[in-house]
Structure 1
């Protein structure tokens, strides 16, 4: 079958996008340490004739001016990964797949923004409003969406919609923001020798009691609300009564009221578990707002229409993404994916190459549908 020029360009761009994603993935970018990767992305935009800049929090931002009065559209893909700087970053390629830490979450998303810029230039796409592309910091872990929050602060009044771009989950349209509260639970005690001071309260023992009590807290299945103790540490040695112990707790819900109710319940639980000679403290580490972009909002309807036109039946879902920050600011926002894969947040993270063509077409068509957004 004879392909149109545009079809040929898009197919050829898949290989280039994968190569750029691999280049990006090989640069370490733990949350709060995205600078080196940001500089690379800045340079890649400059090579394309764009004029990017790095803002005060470390986001790479490039703006493509439109020719009308429509409100601006923001497309953002996060730079940061969950992996410590010491993680060996390697890329392995096979027949139809690419594997490596962070390749889909979210090196591919960032690479796709560069490819989108190429498409707009190659096809001479004229938009009725400005397009803001951003490779943002602080999406993962305790980044607290600081990059997206800064973008909303900077451009919010101009924005008609925002789209978070992720490498995985082609076909999803995330329009419900799962809110979260991250807490550090700190327990301090007098310490002492395990034999000579037996009976003295142990910070580890008290922390364990609190964690066990946490698992007994009732939470609703609808609206879905969850808790998780993701990290614990403390103590000095096997024969020392622990003077210190801590745990990091993740609370989540799609309902802001249930999230706050659960947070208060944890605070009350910690207060009840205090024992003589033991201090218990809760420290707020981060908070992501819950919320929802209505299904009938133009940005959601358009995303669904684009996927169906590409032969993909879309799935509406809820998740915690950069879109949370925009939704909380009253900006219609969604998160979309570019291909399929597995192993996100693991060293064996893998993306499939073939579906990427549809993912790139989705991105281009979504921007072309800008007038209805």
Structure 2
């Protein structure tokens, strides 16, 4: 509705103020205390909107939040996360600032802007005495940046109950394209064992774990197939302890990205069944697929087309994109539920020092989500 857009634009300063407050409340995934403080703020804001909020306690990460708004037989699920990749103290190094229509700050795009959009979309509906067309449940978890290990079950349980799922991760690029496809993400640890020996006196008695790891890295990287959209990257390597010893151990962390489950199963098997090249060396691989691929389906296309009728009157042209990064939307998509991702902030630089949002797009995103939820 155009009225929603007019209202959101008139309250743009308030929306940005909410976002600034959340950016300045740091929430590094590993800092439970800080993340819980932010969670308390978010809980209070949603409760002001007459939402029902329950906390899902966690021991090592921040407590997850589940927000319920409205009534109805069918459920719309919104996915957000409050944790960021930025260690506590980053805000002192890179404080929130606005320059030339862009707002900067750690975690502003990924994805505190999405939480602000959800809050103010509900506030916009309340101001217009409108209720969501379906019951709305919002999951705001605190461990998305490390794989959603403690929240995945919650997300999947709620996705199964939902008619549609919208993830408020940032849109793709400066167009803010909605994400209709995401690559699956695999995470592996490779452990190599050898035999220690003096590098000068008795090198022939040693088995170099570092040399074996070099063979493993070359083989793993050979699994990359850009034509299929498959990438294997050894991102972290550690081995040995001193210069003059044949290294008895080495470890590596491996990232896998794939576009289909069939490809995921093929490459995962290749990685897990790695064998040593050097006689006497040992190779152990642990890990697997963390997030299944989110493949563009007919139901995805239908959902995208259905919400274009809300975007067009607002002057918003919704495009789509397939991306390599992972999100919680993939857990829902793997269950066959219609999912659209990227309804949060518009900007660039997630996980980067120059991370920013386009300020003028915030009220447009608020109005779009409010229109989708109201069905008008």
The TM tier, using the shorter chain, reads 0.7 to 0.9
Residue 113 of structure 2 contacts residue 345 of structure 2 at CA under 8 Å; is this kept in 1?
A: no
2:13 corresponds to which of 8, 12, 15: 15
Question: Counterparts of 2:283 and 2:88 in 1: how far apart (Å)?
Answer: 32
1:136 corresponds to which of 136, 141, 158: 141
Question: Counterparts of 2:220 and 2:284 in 1: how far apart (Å)?
Answer: 15
Aligned partner of 1:322 in structure 2 is: 328
Give the superposition deviation at 1:162.
0.7
Give the superposition deviation at 1:218.
5.5
Question: Counterparts of 1:26 and 1:328 in 2: how far apart (Å)?
Answer: 34
Aligned partner of 2:311 in structure 1 is: 307
Question: Counterparts of 2:122 and 2:144 in 1: how far apart (Å)?
Answer: 22
1:25 corresponds to which of 23, 29, 47: 23
Runs of 4+ in 1 over 6 A off after TM superposition: none
TM-score for the superposition, normalised by structure 2:
0.86
Aligned partner of 2:292 in structure 1 is: 289
Give the superposition deviation at 1:238.
2.8
2:87 corresponds to which of 71, 84, 89: 84
Give the superposition deviation at 1:130.
0.7
Aligned partner of 1:99 in structure 2 is: 104
Report the aligned-residue RMSD.
Answer: 2.5
After superposition, give the CA deviation of every residue in 1:296-323 in whole Å (9 maximum; x if it has no partner): 5542222333334433433222233211
CA gap 1:117/1:313 in 2 versus in 1, 3 angstroms = closer
Question: Counterparts of 1:276 and 1:5 in 2: how far apart (Å)?
Answer: 72
Q: 1:159 and 2:165 equivalent?
A: no
TM-score for the superposition, normalised by structure 1:
0.87
CA gap 1:162/1:201 in 2 versus in 1, 3 angstroms = same
Aligned partner of 1:174 in structure 2 is: 179
Which secondary structure state, in structure 2, belongs to the residue aligned with residue 276 of structure 1?
Answer: coil
After superposition, give the CA deviation of every residue in 1:151-173 in whole Å (9 maximum; x if it has no partner): 321x2443101110023435422
Q: Which moved more, 1:353-362 or 1:86-95?
A: 86-95
After superposition, give the CA deviation of every residue in 1:277-303 in whole Å (9 maximum; x if it has no partner): 322111116521124353455422223
Residue 259 of structure 2 contacts residue 293 of structure 2 at CA under 8 Å; is this kept in 1?
A: yes
Residue 22 of structure 1 contacts residue 107 of structure 1 at CA under 8 Å; is this kept in 2?
A: no
After superposition, give the CA deviation of every residue in 1:242-275 in whole Å (9 maximum; x if it has no partner): 232211111111210111111122234x21x343
Q: 1:350 and 2:350 equivalent?
A: no
CA gap 1:35/1:339 in 2 versus in 1, 3 angstroms = closer
CA gap 1:197/1:112 in 2 versus in 1, 3 angstroms = farther
Which secondary structure state, in structure 2, belongs to the residue aligned with residue 238 of structure 1?
Answer: coil
Where in structure 1 are there 5+ consecutive unaligned residues? none
1:253 corresponds to which of 250, 253, 258: 258
Question: Counterparts of 1:291 and 1:86 in 2: how far apart (Å)?
Answer: 34
Where in structure 2 are there 5+ consecutive unaligned residues? none
